[in-house]
Chains A and B, each alone.
Chain A
Amino acid sequence: KQEVTQIPAALSVPEGENLVLNCSFTDSAIYNLQWFRQDPGKGLTSLLLIQSSQREQTSGRLNASLDKSSGRSTLYIAASQPGDSATYLCAVQDGGFKTIFGAGTRLFVKA
């Protein structure tokens, strides 16, 4: 059974710092991995989707990498800003066309 784990559960950094969020999954047979942002009490916003044949995707200050063989993905946020404060979730779509989510990393960027 596919399981997705995100470490750390919470992270607090000063503004301007570069940071890395980690995601691991137990079964490498995935179609894709997606990173989402969730603000308190709100829905999820898709940030990046990496297909299983890809190694990374970039959008602005965000870069996500995927190492399928080791079951790992990282989300790199450059020059963090207070507006980046949110919960970041990763999710994998497996062979059963289901999407399995991690519990998320709560990020707080201090001004």
Chain B
Amino acid sequence: DGGITQSPKYLFRKEGQNVTLSCEQNLNHDAMYWYRQDPGQGLRLIYYSQIVNDFQKGDIAEGYSVSREKKESFPLTVTSAQKNPTAFYLCASSPPGVNTEAFFGQGTRLTVV
């Protein structure tokens, strides 16, 4: 049963803490993405990776970091430098090339307490 798994579903962070969101896919996709979704807004791209050991900043990368050591995994760390981290985070993957559909995980809701 192929798909994208994000964990945890809910995450609470204290001020000044770093937290890591997990994203794993078994679709054998080369490209993986992290998006942030805020109420009433479209998804905004944080980071993306087209291939293992390579990743690029998206539109709102400040305060976030990623790694891509394995094809299946693309974890996102929300650092203490991210001043407004409360949001819904979505991970996606797609096959290589253009005109390919993106597949999304079920999301992680991060709340600062």
Contact = CB atoms under 8 A, between A and B. Distances in A.
Contacts of B58: 98
Interface string B5-20: 0100000000000000
A103 B40 contact: yes
Given A93-B98, A97-B98, A98-B58, A43 B42 contact: no
Q: How large is the interface on A (under 10, 10 to 19, 20 to 34, 35 or more residues)?
A: 20 to 34
A34 B25 CA distance: 21
A99 interface: yes
Interface residues of B, number: 26
A42 B35 CA distance: 13
B98 A43 contact: no
B42 A46 contact: no
A27 to B, nearest CB: 15
Contact of B104 (A9, A44, A97, A100): A44
Given A97-B50, A103-B42, 15 more contacts: A9-B40, A31-B99, A34-B101, A41-B88, A41-B107, A42-B107, A43-B90, A43-B104, A93-B98, A98-B48, A98-B58, A99-B33, A101-B35, A103-B40, A104-B42
Interface of A: 4, 9, 31-32, 34, 36, 41-46, 49, 51, 89, 91, 93, 97-104
